[in-house]
Amino acid sequence: MKKRNSQKVILWFLLFFNSFVFCQQSTSEYVIITYEIDRNKDQHPIRNYYWIVPVNTLTGDRDFKKYPLYFDEFSQDDLNDCKGNKDLVLFTLVAKEDFNIGDKIKSDIEKLKYIVKDNRKKVESVVKKWTNGYTEKITIYVTSVKGDFCCSNLSSNDEKMINYRGLIYLPIGNFSFNKPFFESDKYKEFIHEDYINSDYVNLSD
């Protein structure tokens, strides 16, 4: 019994350690999924929701895990917490929070946005219509990039606010378009995925 319990402890430690390293890896390959939502119900512009998939987690069975990618309105404190694997408080204002993340990272994020939009490939599109004339067009794109990202869990309060429990990714830098990915077998996993019937709404506009 003691041997079995010790094995469970070792397994738990390895899983925790691998998760920590996984979130802190250097420049790596990722796929960014863009959900573009166009509604005729109100005057709001088209909304974009971003999710991210680490390429090294793809197993070939089309059962990949995606995570929200948050582009804007995070603070330097949020970024430091993310890099340190501390719980993130993204959606609750904290006293004396430092929102001056610096011109370099702002420039890198704008570069990432340009890469994502300029090199994306459409993988799915659907138009939902209601009898009252309300329509909603959902278009899904994928873009393969290389870059540095950090990830961490949300605080329990923030989890409740957006009804999401899991990792959130923040961009750091060194971004570039990963064109060869679109010629690889791994790209095929994204072509046949059912995006519409999966959760995609988050606060990453």
Rounded CA-CA distance 127/78 in Å is: 36
- Most confident segment among 100-104, 172-176, 194-198: 172-176
pTM of the predicted structure, to 2 decimals: 0.83
- Most confident segment among 38-47, 117-126, 187-196: 117-126
pLDDT in tens, 94-153: 777 887 888 998 999 999 999 999 999 999 998 988 888 888 899 999 999 999 999 999
Residue type, 117: K
Rounded CA-CA distance 115/149 in Å is: 15
**pLDDT attached to residue 16:** 42
**pLDDT attached to residue 55:** 93
Stronger pLDDT, 22 or 131, i.e. the higher one: 131
Please state whether beta strands 28-39 and 47-54 pair in parallel, antiparallel, or not at all (unpaired): antiparallel
- Maximum Cα–Cα distance for the chain, whole Å? 65
Q: How confident is the model at residue 32 (pLDDT cuts 50, 70, 90)?
A: very high
Work out the number of other CB atoms within 10 angstroms of the CB of residue 84.
Answer: 10
Spatial CB neighbours of 158, under 8 Å, sequence gap ≥ 6: 88, 89, 90, 91, 92
**pLDDT attached to residue 12:** 43
State how far the alpha carbon of 118 is from the alpha carbons of 69, 114, 124, in Å.
18, 6, 17
DSSP string across 75-90: -HHHHHHHHTTPPB--
**Of 79-83, 128-132, 145-149, 180-184, which range is least confident?**
128-132
Stronger pLDDT, 97 or 4, i.e. the higher one: 97
State how far the alpha carbon of 94 is from the alpha carbons of 77, 84, 185, 192, in Å.
10, 18, 44, 42
